[in-house]
Chain A
Amino acid sequence: MNNVQNKKRANKSLPFFFKDEFKVFFVIIFFSTILLISTFTFDKVPPILNRGIQPATFPKGLLVLIMFLTTIIYYLSFKNPWKKEKKLPKPFFLTILSFVLFVVISKTLDFFLAISVLSIFVSYNWGEKRVFYLLLVGIIFPLVVFIFFEMILGLRFPPGIITNLYYY
């Protein structure tokens, strides 16, 4: 209980723009505003063909609702501040980095290679140093999954430097 109160106090002492409540409020309002503006660029149905509401009306209503509700949670947070979350550890950022690597490798080199690299990268950074297990998660298991999807579901994976060796 004391711990929670301490955390709440810690959060209260921060300037408002550093608080989680404001960050969440700002991010939602910012993206909702951008999306709301973009709804004004949607094509309109000519009045003679229009039945009911325009295609942009429903998403506009939803975005306004989201912005309204976000303002409410921000207002409520003055009475009940959110507890301060722990700082994110290094493995979290490395896992995010592995996602970026995955996107880059799957786009430029090979889909299967991207899975292998991510699996080894994540497993290693989460503490696995034994080579056999790294090979298991990085090569043997993805290979089994690849063959399974290919054989059972008849799935054709996107072409790449390794996948092409299998297909051609």
Chain B
Amino acid sequence: MMAPLFSSKLLIVLLFGTLFGLILGVLPGLGPTTGGALILPFTMTLDPLSAIVLLTSIYCAGTYGGAITAVLINTPGTPAAAATCLDGYPLAQKGEAGRALGMATVSSTVGGIFSVIVLVFFAPVLAKLAYEFGQPEYFALAIFGLTMLASIGEGSPVKNLIAGAFGILISTIGKDFMTSIDRFTYGINELSVGIGFIPVVVGLFAISEMLTQSTLLDQVFKRVALKAVKLPSLDDYKKTWKTILRSSGIGSFIGVLPAEGGTVASLIGYSEAKRFSKEPEEFGKGSIEGIVGAEAANNAATGGAMVPTLALGIPGSATTAVILTGLIIHGVRPGPDLFREQPDFLYGIFGAMLIANVLFFIFGFFGAKLFARITLVPNKILWPMIFAVSVCGTYSLSQSIIDVWIMLFFGVLGFFMRRFGFSVVPVIIGLILGELVEGTLRQSLVIFDGNWLMFLTRPIALTFFILSLIALAFPLIRSKKNKK
């Protein structure tokens, strides 16, 4: 399984990806999604396996890196580490930052490795199932993915649906792939090829975050010094191993569902840890069960989110949408055929994720103090630099200045979307699924001779539609239950 990874080049890529991912995770506002999008142009100089190994190691390490700032400055480096702040920072304030970071590191590693095992066993099974899928089934699956995103994603489900529909709408810009008729191009030649994924991702994540940071310049972080490092004791592990395993399972399952993987997983992992805890009153005051509940879950979501990405070509999270773009750019078509034709490639990815989890464990355990210092780089220096990389990275893919302007437009749009409670993640997922949704719908209608009711005669498609309805009804049921 690891054979393709025993080359010095791939190990260097893995090492770099893990370090870069940790730095991205540590810096609030950045994260594996933005970082992956920024580094995507550089992967063009690499072979496909190295490129995807780089992206996946950034994904794994970046997800963990968010915990370091969550514990030390009470600011999650990534949204997935938000729940870690709740107990990580109070524990650090008690002078036990080392213990908090140690537990976060161990639980993240266990969660990550657990999810890779799930990926290794579950992805091929799902891929085999996908052989049964025709156009109508893929259409129903994509709709299910989008409704799940709306339903269990962060924020208002209706706003998430609007954002997802908007993402699909963006994918319709340019020449219609079936008839070559221009749509929403308004005579601008550059728009005929459509709007690229990278300008939208970099705009919605990096540039909109830059604008957000411009509104937070007066914010002062209270840093907790990491002087006397009190590491976790054997009792800590004894007390938390069940929580770690439970959260790893929850995270892997949530990760498989197309949603904001890690963020949702960590919140559920945290609340379940509290529910099962013998000391629920300690939660919010520095409970190590709270830390491991959140951290094991968000890292377990990484492997889970890779399952539909590799097996079906449907991203399980915003970062896996970037990885999916990386696969497509390098000519690798995810789906059942990938498992049959390129098993070495897949095992290379599985192995890389496994090693990345071990590497960030080592870096995290021994270098957390050093990584925490990265947050000392002031925003007034950091963000102009990120802007320079964003602009050059966006320009580089198709060498088009229009792409840079599109990036700026989506940056401003993303800022206002977030300000008014619209998540930008459904836009990304909608954009990447757009062609699949429209293509499979139109081809299905050709097969069905224009009869929409024929969708209901396909059992798998019908199952996905019913699941979509349940997903849509879920927030209503949840809000009624909460009112009671």
Q: Is the A/B pair a real complex?
A: yes
Known: A59-B172, A73-B158, A95-B211. A45 touches B181 (CB 8 A): yes
Of the candidates B184, B379, B380, B438, which one forms a contact with A38 in the assembled complex, judged by CB atoms under 8 Å apart? Answer: B184
Please state if A96 and B385 are interface contacts (CB–CB under 8 Å). Answer: no
- Please, which residues of chain A bring their CB within 8 A of the CB of B158? 69, 72-73, 76
Please state if B380 and A127 are interface contacts (CB–CB under 8 Å). Answer: yes
Please state if B392 and A145 are interface contacts (CB–CB under 8 Å). Answer: yes
A16 at the interface (CB under 8 A from B): no
A66 at the interface (CB under 8 A from B): yes
Report the separation of the CA atoms of residues A59 and B185 in the bound assembly, to the nearest whole angstrom.
Answer: 13
Please state if A92 and B214 are interface contacts (CB–CB under 8 Å). Answer: yes
User: Closest B-chain residue to A128, C-beta based?
Assistant: B380
- Please, which residues of chain B bring their CB within 8 A of the CB of A65? 165
Which interface residue of B378, B387, B401 has the most chain A CB atoms within 10 A? B387
Query: A58 to chain B: closest CB distance in Å?
Result: 5
A146 at the interface (CB under 8 A from B): yes
Please state if B42 and A153 are interface contacts (CB–CB under 8 Å). Answer: yes
B178 at the interface (CB under 8 A from A): yes
Report the separation of the CA atoms of residues A149 and B468 in the bound assembly, to the nearest whole angstrom.
Answer: 44
Known: A42-B182, A45-B179, A58-B172. A52 touches B408 (CB 8 A): no
Query: B208 to chain A: closest CB distance in Å?
Result: 11
User: Closest B-chain residue to A133, C-beta based?
Assistant: B381
Interface size class of chain B, counting residues whose CB lies under 8 Å from the partner chain: 35 or more
Please state if A95 and B217 are interface contacts (CB–CB under 8 Å). Answer: no
B14-22, B280-288, B299-307, B440-448: which lies at the A interface?
A: B440-448
Of the candidates B159, B176, B381, which one forms a contact with A128 in the assembled complex, judged by CB atoms under 8 Å apart? Answer: B381
Please state if A55 and B183 are interface contacts (CB–CB under 8 Å). Answer: yes
| Chain B facing A: main interface SS | helix
Of the candidates B45, B169, B391, which one forms a contact with A152 in the assembled complex, judged by CB atoms under 8 Å apart? Answer: B45
User: Closest B-chain residue to A20, C-beta based?
Assistant: B420
Of the candidates B218, B421, B441, which one forms a contact with A58 in the assembled complex, judged by CB atoms under 8 Å apart? Answer: B441
Known: A43-B182, A91-B214. A158 touches B162 (CB 8 A): no
Of the candidates B168, B379, B388, which one forms a contact with A126 in the assembled complex, judged by CB atoms under 8 Å apart? Answer: B379
Report the separation of the CA atoms of residues A70 and B474 in the bound assembly, to the nearest whole angstrom.
Answer: 20
A35 at the interface (CB under 8 A from B): yes
Of the candidates B384, B392, B442, B450, which one forms a contact with A119 in the assembled complex, judged by CB atoms under 8 Å apart? Answer: B384
Give the size of the chain A interface in residues (CB under 8 angstroms): 66
- Please, which residues of chain B bring their CB within 8 A of the CB of A119? 384-385, 387-388
- Please, which residues of chain A bring their CB within 8 A of the CB of B387? 115, 118-119, 122
Query: B238 to chain A: closest CB distance in Å?
Result: 39
Chain A proximity mask over B26-46: 1 for CB below 8 Å, otherwise 0? 000000000000000110110
Of the candidates A20, A42, A153, which one forms a contact with B41 in the assembled complex, judged by CB atoms under 8 Å apart? Answer: A153
Report the separation of the CA atoms of residues A153 and B399 in the bound assembly, to the nearest whole angstrom.
Answer: 11
Chain B proximity mask over A63-94: 1 for CB below 8 Å, otherwise 0? 10110011011001000001001101101101
Please state if B162 and A62 are interface contacts (CB–CB under 8 Å). Answer: no
Of the candidates B168, B218, B443, which one forms a contact with A52 in the assembled complex, judged by CB atoms under 8 Å apart? Answer: B443
A30 at the interface (CB under 8 A from B): no
B357-397 contacts to A (CB < 8 Å): 378-381, 383-385, 387-389, 391-392, 395-396
Known: A42-B181, A43-B181, A92-B211. A69 touches B161 (CB 8 A): yes
Please state if B179 and A103 are interface contacts (CB–CB under 8 Å). Answer: no
Query: B153 to chain A: closest CB distance in Å?
Result: 15
- Please, which residues of chain B bring their CB within 8 A of the CB of A102? 391, 408
B481 at the interface (CB under 8 A from A): no
Query: B172 to chain A: closest CB distance in Å?
Result: 5
- Please, which residues of chain A bring their CB within 8 A of the CB of B420? 20, 24, 82, 85
Chain A proximity mask over B133-159: 1 for CB below 8 Å, otherwise 0? 000000000000000000000001011
A52-B450, A107-B401, A141-B384 given. 18 additional CB < 8 A pairs? A42-B181, A45-B181, A52-B178, A52-B442, A52-B445, A52-B446, A58-B438, A62-B165, A73-B162, A85-B419, A89-B215, A95-B210, A95-B211, A96-B412, A111-B401, A119-B385, A137-B385, A141-B385
A-B contact pairs, 15 of them (CB 8 A): A45-B181, A51-B442, A52-B446, A55-B176, A69-B158, A85-B419, A89-B217, A92-B215, A99-B412, A106-B404, A107-B401, A136-B381, A153-B41, A155-B395, A155-B399
